[in-house]
Amino acid sequence: MNPIDEAVDGDFCCEGCAAVYALLNERNLGRYYELRGGAGRAVARGGARDHKWLDPIEEARKAQGGTARVELDIQGMHCSACVWLVETLFREHGAGSSIIVNPALGRLDITAAPDLDLSRLVDDIESFGYRLGPPVKSARRASTGLLARLGVCVAIAMNSMIFAIAIYAGLREGAAYTLFLRLNFALSVVSVLVGGSVFFRAAWSGLKRRVLHMDLPIALGIALAFAGSVYAFVTHREDAAFFDTLNVFIALMILGRFLQERVLERNRLTLLASDGVDGLFARRVRDGRVETIKCTELVTGDVLLVAPGDLVPVPARIDAPATFSLDWINGESAPRVFRAGDVVPPGAFFCGVRAIEIAATSDFAASSLVTLLRTPRARDDASSATPWWQRFAKIYVAAVLIAASIGFAAWMIATRDFGRSLGVATAVLIVTCPCAFGIATPLAYDLFQAGLRRAGLFVRSAGFLDRAALVRTVVFDKTGTLTSGRLSVREPETLRALAPEHRRALRDLVSRSNHPKSAAILRALGETTYDASACVTERAGRGMQLSRGGHYRLGAPSWVAPGAVTTGDVAFGVDGRLLADITTIEERRPDARREVAALHDDGYDVWLLSGDARARVESAARDVGIPVARAVGDHSPNEKADWVRAHDRKDLLMVGDGINDSLVVSEAYCSGTPAVDRPFMAARSDFYFVAPGLHPVRVALRASRALARIRRANLFVAVAYNVLAVGLAYAGLMSPLVCAVIMPASSLSTIAVSAIRLSPRRSLWRS
């Protein structure tokens, strides 16, 4: 469970969970908690989302007519309770329609009747913390192919052991003996082709990139052991054929690979997929009609209709003053007012009350969003990204080949028996195959991933836990990362002390605005109802006005109450008389100060890197305990990427959430994001986290170091086992039967050590 946020009343880790709990009980959907059981996850519950991606889907429904099939991706599915909740919500909307929920892929397959209001259904589901989008998740999953291979290899291993047991029990001649030998040979051929080919391809791919990883010794062991066993079989030295042991080994290695792929795929599919610039839509005004098009179709001169909260996809000129938020592109927490004739940069969000028209001043192809949303570079495989694995693979391969060569040469000199000498070399290759790292280490990774998921962190990149053990520098973005990304009222009691009629007027003003300061005031008021008939007008750059028994104003102090002495950044008044002097502040994450201090204590250098103004960045750094000398502000996306390149010595972790961080996370050695409502960021990061605080980041770093210790322990067990096994092989005592006993014993011992040290009760997972 996640640590409780002290700013939230009750037994909830964050406001999102508290709000969803209230919503479930209000609608009599409490059975969700019964189905879910004791496990819980933080709810990433944001504000209103842009649903322009729904417009093409609705147009296709209308064009088709009648009942239509609609596929939607969904984010946040993680248990049977989620499936039940989505199906229950759908039944409330979809009379005459049906739905199939695929939690494994994160997709909804809807057979939609003509009267189904898809937009209302999407809003309703998203109010519970889920996110929906167009169907862009790939149905192809690497683990599906591995699962099929695993099934074949396990079946082969089981049957191979059955045939081998008869031989071990004393069967030495006759038709049954010959049949069992031939069946074992045939099964091994299939096992090597089906299971061994996975490691052959991976090893060859690494060699082409001049990268060594654990797939190389595994592939080499399989190939040479199979070749030696085949020679023994052909020359009728059946006592030197290790087909059954080889088949078991291949099955175990495929199992280990499947464990790694399964958990990473599950983490990736929990979120919506990023389709880069193809996922951006805009409303274009042409010939008096409004049409929804992909942003890639925008050209200079197009007139766009921008609604409150909409993204500006291209540089665009405005005809009247308007307010836009730039936090997504430069980290500025405070919205900026643009005057008539100004050009608004791409990536800004409109903060007005009513939709406005803007004119594109360039093609979308020239927009900076194209670069920032480009397809991320692929991360290397788990082992190939770290120097430790490369050094280990070199040493291991060399040691195994030398040991096998020594055994072969020594027996050739002593006996002049090529077949016997090859049998000893084959035994060495078989017993030194890296079982501990092929099955025990993937299991340890799986247990680590489970612990991180309980803490609210989901790993997407196979090599992150290996690379994170080398991290010594942690760099945070400010807005939306070190802070919560939203504003709050410093002294909310001043608003609650207002007279009832004034409080109602203030509520009606802020309820009609999505400006961050209005949202902060609305949360401070703690009231949700408002007068739908109230007439509110907006003065861009100044504020809002409501006429009701006087002229109520909310906005710039100089406009609300000219001449009044104020200290806040927002004022509320009536007819020029000041009613409330309001100061808004940027909320830091609830545990930011504690976690920064803990990272310092753990030996990490912590930095703050932001595009926001230097003064605000330094203030935020002081607030959370980061030295001002390590607070860097006023940096553009390219400047932030340059800074990371200059400071990263393959030991830097970058945590950011805005589009201005997309270049940085691609450059950093390790990267993470809390921005689960923006798929493009998670798609570029090694991990994402959904907890309200920063605690999961420190847990991941501690886990990576603990994994390195377990890896060393597994290495010690593997070395001890190999010394014993190679000694037996050199002595000519390593028969297939002995090998079939001691190989599983070594694997089981390392698995047991890993499982015990990674128990959920261990201090590693506690706050």
Chain centroid, CA 191 distance in Å: 34
Low-confidence ranges of the chain (pLDDT < 50): 1-10, 45, 47-48, 380-385
* For helices 243-270 and 736-757, angle between their N-to-C axes, nearest 10 degrees: 30
Instruction: Count helices and strands (H / E) in the chain.
Output: 28, 27
Amino acid at position 430, single letter: I
Q: How far apart are CA 373 and CA 293, in angstroms?
A: 18
Q: Which tokens hold the place of 452?
A: 């991180």
Cβ–Cβ under 8 Å, residues 317 and 361: yes
**Inter-CA distances, 129 with 76, 125, 239, 270, 429, Å:** 8, 8, 62, 13, 53
Q: How far apart are CA 697 and CA 682, in angstroms?
A: 15
Cβ–Cβ under 8 Å, residues 717 and 753: yes
Q: How far apart are CA 356 and CA 320, in angstroms?
A: 9
Cα angle, residue 68 at apex, residues 66 and 74 outer, rounded to 5°: 150
Amino acid at position 125, single letter: I
Instruction: Please identify which residue in the block is written with the tokens 């920063």.
Output: 694
Cα angle, residue 134 at apex, residues 133 and 137 outer, rounded to 5°: 95
Cβ–Cβ under 8 Å, residues 599 and 474: yes
Give the residue range(s) of CATH 2.70.150.10 domains in the chain: 278-372
Give the residue range(s) of CATH 3.40.1110.10 domains in the chain: 491-582
Give the residue range(s) of CATH 3.40.50.1000 domains in the chain: 457-485+588-690
**Inter-CA distances, 133 with 279, 680, 745, Å:** 9, 13, 49
Q: Which tokens hold the place of 23?
A: 């919503």
Task: Give residue-wise pLDDT tens across range 683-721.
Answer: 788 898 888 889 999 999 998 888 888 877 777 777 787
* 3.40.50.720, 3.30.70.100, 1.20.1250.20, 3.30.70.3270: CATH of 15-133: 3.30.70.100
Q: Report pLDDT for 4.
A: 45
Integer distance in angstroms from the first to the last C-alpha of the chain? 10
Q: How far apart are CA 178 and CA 744, in angstroms?
A: 27
Phi, psi dihedrals of residue 538, rounded to the nearest 5°: -115, 140
Q: Which tokens hold the place of 343?
A: 């050009």
Q: 491-582 falls under which CATH superfamily?
A: Calcium-transporting ATPase, cytoplasmic domain N (3.40.1110.10)
Q: How far apart are CA 357 and CA 339, in angstroms?
A: 14
Alpha helices per DSSP H over 271-386: 327-330, 368-372
Question: Between β-strands 570-574 and 551-555, what pairing exists: parallel, antiparallel or unpaired?
Answer: antiparallel
- Surface-to-core class of residue 326, CB atoms within 10 Å of its CB (0-12 exposed, 13-18 middle, 19+ buried): buried
Q: How far apart are CA 249 and CA 219, in angstroms?
A: 11
Cα angle, residue 584 at apex, residues 581 and 588 outer, rounded to 5°: 155
Cβ–Cβ under 8 Å, residues 214 and 380: no
Q: How far apart are CA 693 and CA 4, in angstroms?
A: 9
Cβ–Cβ under 8 Å, residues 515 and 335: yes
Q: Which residues face 68 on adjacent strands?
A: 112
Phi, psi dihedrals of residue 650, rounded to the nearest 5°: 55, 45
**Inter-CA distances, 436 with 153, 200, 448, 653, 705, Å:** 19, 19, 17, 29, 19
Q: How far apart are CA 661 and CA 291, in angstroms?
A: 31
Q: Which tokens hold the place of 293?
A: 């098009």
Q: Which residues face 487 on adjacent strands?
A: 586
**Inter-CA distances, 319 with 308, 341, 344, 345, Å:** 16, 6, 11, 15
Cα angle, residue 541 at apex, residues 538 and 544 outer, rounded to 5°: 25
Give the residue range(s) of CATH 3.30.70.100 domains in the chain: 15-133
The candidate with the shortest Cα–Cα distance to 694, out of 1, 2, 15, 11, is 2
CATH topology of domain 278-372: 2.70.150
Q: Report pLDDT for 184.
A: 87
CA dihedral 678, 37, 1, 657 (to 10 degrees): 0
pTM for the complete prediction?
A: 0.75
Phi, psi dihedrals of residue 625, rounded to the nearest 5°: 95, 20
Burial 12-24 (b: 16+ CB within 10 A, else e): bbbbbbbbbbeeb
CATH topology of domain 457-485+588-690: Rossmann fold (3.40.50)
Q: How far apart are CA 430 and CA 252, in angstroms?
A: 13
Q: Which tokens hold the place of 315?
A: 């540089």
535: CB partners within 8 A, 6+ apart: 546, 547
The SS3 assignment for 679 reads helix
Amino acid at position 743, single letter: M
Q: Report pLDDT for 608.
A: 94
Q: How far apart are CA 197 and CA 265, in angstroms?
A: 21
Cβ–Cβ under 8 Å, residues 245 and 725: no
What's the length of the chain?
Answer: 767
Q: CA neighbours within 13 Å on the CB side: how many for 335?
A: 29
